[in-house]
Amino acid sequence: MKVKVAVIDSGIELYHEAFKDIHVSGNRIIKKGCCLEKNEDIYDTSGHGTACASMIVSECPYVDIVSIGILDRDGKSNLAALEFALESLINSDVSIINMSLAFNILVDQKLYRIMKKLSEQNVTIIASMSNEGNVSYPAVYDNVIGVRAGILEKERGFWFHKGEPIQCIMDCVTPVVAVPQNKYIMIPSCNSIAAARLTGIVGKLLWKKKTNKICYKTLCDWLQNKALRNEWREDEVYTRFRVPEKRNWFVENNDPVLNRMFQVIGQYFQKRFSDKQICDIELLTRKGPLKMEMVIPFLKYVEKTMNIKIDYLKVNRYHLITVGTLVKYIKSL
């Protein structure tokens, strides 16, 4: 059984390797004259939809994706296009709708009424809070699970309070995501990717339970029970509750993988590093030589020279803080 997830976004790059084992269907909402209609083409106008969908399938590979493109190359759309896209999913077999987008102003209650119909059909609706922190529709609706990003006590953990307007804080350390042209990049943590991660987690829940639908209250109760915390202060959302520490990345200097990595970084950065304590050599830090835009070329070089395979979608900044954190990650493969 596969869980069907609708991703209402900028579209998806259909032939990206991240989706090689995923069935992707969908359409794009276009304006023709004064009307909106579906265009059967599936493509990504900005890369945002591909990034979000890649996070979903990274968390749950047991999904079929329905891509509905409404965002333009600047990440903009209009309320009518969103409403049209959502109305097309009423009475469908979609289990989850992911919307990593937000509107700050509404003119009427039409959007809420559509959400209500979908929720009554036990369709799970997950939406991100605006990165600017404004009131975010549809994330604040009482039939939608609103999500924002944080750095929490546990990797891929979440906080959940079903009484909050934005109920979920999802752990999201600077991740690697898929983008068009069959590429990957590391991007800053953001609410869009946090919402996509929660969508994948919920998708896996449905897959494990062998069910396509779950009612809103039951899902909220499950998330409330599984959450790391159910209460928090606003200032805590901006606190890093988890940072790599030396005791977590310590590897003895005589470790063969550590020594091979020492050779690799010397070759890649064309630099002589101190071998006094190899695991402490900084990489993706202010002092380190690795920058975010260099992460994927560096990882490809590591793969080639060490004859290993890295799942880029499982990598985040904390795996690359020091040589020790990277070696620990490689040993976990």
pLDDT tens per residue across span 235-275: 999 999 999 988 889 999 999 999 999 999 999 999 999 99
> Is residue 194's pLDDT more than 80?
yes
Distance CA 257, CA 285 (A): 22
3-238 is a CATH 3.40.50.200 domain: yes
> For the segment 157-180, what is each residue's pLDDT rounded down to a tens digit?
999 999 999 999 999 999 999 999
Report residue 33's pLDDT band, with 50, 70 and 90 as the boundaries.
Answer: confident
Please determine whether the domains at 3-238 and 246-332 fall in the same fold group of CATH: no
Phi, psi dihedrals of residue 324, rounded to the nearest 5°: -65, -45
What integer is the mean pLDDT of 290-310? 97
- Report residue 34's pLDDT band, with 50, 70 and 90 as the boundaries: confident
Going by pLDDT thresholds of 50, 70 and 90, the confidence category of residue 63 is very high
pLDDT above 70 coverage of the chain, percent:
100
CA 144 to chain centre: 18
Domain coordinates in residue numbering, the chain: 3-238, 246-332
How confident is the model at residue 103, as a pLDDT? Answer: 94
pLDDT band at residue 310, thresholds of 50, 70 and 90? very high
Residue 133, pLDDT > 90, answer no
Both tokens of 41, joined, read: 């083409």
pLDDT for the residue 106: 87
Burial of 213 (0-12, 13-18, 19+ CB in 10 A): middle
Summarize the confidence of residues 221-239 as an average pLDDT: 97
Q: What is the mean pLDDT of residues 193-219?
A: 97
Q: Is the pLDDT of residue 107 over 80?
A: no
Q: At what angle do helices 295-306 and 323-332 cross, to 10 degrees?
A: 60
CATH number of 246-332: 1.10.1200
Cis peptide before 138 (omega within 30 of 0): yes
pLDDT of residue 134: 85
